[in-house]
Amino acid sequence: MLQNKANPTISKSTGLPRKRFYRARAHSNPLSDSHFPVPLSPSHVDYSLHYPQLFPSSDCSDGSKKIEFADIGCGFGGLLISLSTLFPETLMIGMELRDKVTEYVKERILGLRLANPSQFQNVSVVRTNSMKYIPNYFEKGQLSKMFFLFPDPHFKEKNHRRRVISPHLLDEYAYVLKVGGIIYTITDVEELGEWMKSCLQNHPMFEPLSEMELDGDPVVKLLSTATEEGKKVARNGGQTFQAVYRRITLASQENS
């Protein structure tokens, strides 16, 4: 990261990174060459690296507290920052494929931790491809919330299989979500919104939240307001399409 006195990438006044040094294209090919370390299994995830104040040493994790929220494709971290103060007792992590953007979120969290002692200790970010490595990070039924905010639409039909929400990938998301856990999706692309809703609707291990439940969930409002993307859509007066579903147990099947 190039830093010089005249043009620091971290703002002197706020201690927070300046976005323009971390800009990257919105799209990243999930299939292309990437080299990044991936934990061998969920027990290999280094909690002391991500949450140093809560886990001072690598050995100290007694296994009782685990990551519960995962923001898949967290972008510049808007949602995570909001969730961090809303759920101060919960560990959460963002997963992002783009290198520069992940660096930005890292710097942002560090800056916020410095400026606000004992806050933001429960949030972290990791550069990874969540379409391939989610089972490496999370145990069965570990997560209580998963977020997919404004994912890449992959417009061309031949690229639909690169979409982060798909019938097959939902099997894996259902695996890492606990029963009763919630998956939140939102997009400003209508076709993608219908796609995600239809995938969730057709998957036997997810059921939609009722209107009442949606109204009662403080997180739902954040979907369209907390992130860069969300704010941009609001500024442009665009419409958003959300699908919020709960992980249920598979209904027992009768002998046919």
Partner 1 sequence: MEGAQMEDFRIEECENDNNTHEDSQMGESEQNNKHMEVAPALISVHPTRNSVAVSVGSDLRVFNLLEDCAVILVDEAGGASHSDSIRGIKYGANGKLFVSAGDDKLVKVWSTESWRCIATVCSEKRVSAVAISNDGLHVCFADKFGVVWVVDLPGVDETQAPLNKKAVPLLAHYCSIITSLEFSPDGHFIVSADRDFKIRVTVFPKKPLDGAHEVQSFCLGHTEFVSCLAFICTPDSPQGILVSGGGDSTVRMWDIISGSLLDTCAVGAKAQFESDTTEGNCSTVTDICTIPACTLIAVAIQSLRGIMLLSCDLSSRTLSVMKVVSIIGENFVPTSLGSSISGGLLWMVTGASKLRGSDVSSLSRVKVISGFEKSSPNASEQEPAVLVDSEIPGGAKLLEKLQGSISVDEKVFLAAADAVKTAMCNLLIKKQYSDEKREFRKRTRNDRKSKH
Interface residues with partner 1 (CB under 8 A) are 31-42, 44-46, 49, 129, 131-133, 135-136, 140, 158-159, 167-172, 174-175, 203-205, 250, 253-256
Q: Is the distance from CB of 67 to CB of 93 less than 8 angstroms?
A: yes
Residue 200 marked ligand-binding: no
Phi, psi of 135 (to 5 degrees): -65, -15
Instruction: Count the neighbouring beta carbons within 10 Å of the beta carbon of residue 219.
Output: 19
Residue 110 marked ligand-binding: no
Residue 143 marked ligand-binding: no
> Of the two residues 112 and 170, which places its CB atom closer to partner 1 in the complex?
170
Distance CA 122, CA 67 (A): 9
Catalytic residue among 99, 152, 215, 217: 152
Q: In what order do the strands lie in the sheet with 91-96?
A: 123-127, 91-96, 67-72, 143-149, 177-187, 241-247, 206-208
The dihedral built from the CA positions of residue 81, 93, 240 and 246, taken in this order, carries a sign that is negative
> Of the two residues 236 and 252, which places its CB atom closer to partner 1 in the complex?
252
Residue 187 marked ligand-binding: no
Q: How far is the CB of 38 from partner 1 (least distance, A)?
A: 4
Q: How far is the CB of 87 from partner 1 (least distance, A)?
A: 25
> Of the two residues 23 and 44, which places its CB atom closer to partner 1 in the complex?
44
B/e letters for 60-95, b = 16+ CB within 10 Å, e = fewer, are ebeeeeebbbbbbbbbbbbbbbbbbeebeebbbbbb
> Of the two residues 219 and 243, which places its CB atom closer to partner 1 in the complex?
243
Q: How far is the CB of 184 from partner 1 (least distance, A)?
A: 20
Distance CA 16, CA 143 (A): 29
Is residue 217 among the annotated active site residues? no
Q: How far is the CB of 135 from partner 1 (least distance, A)?
A: 4
Bin 191: left if φ > 0, else alpha if -120 < ψ < 50, else beta: alpha
Residue 144 marked ligand-binding: no
Q: Which residues are catalytic?
A: 152
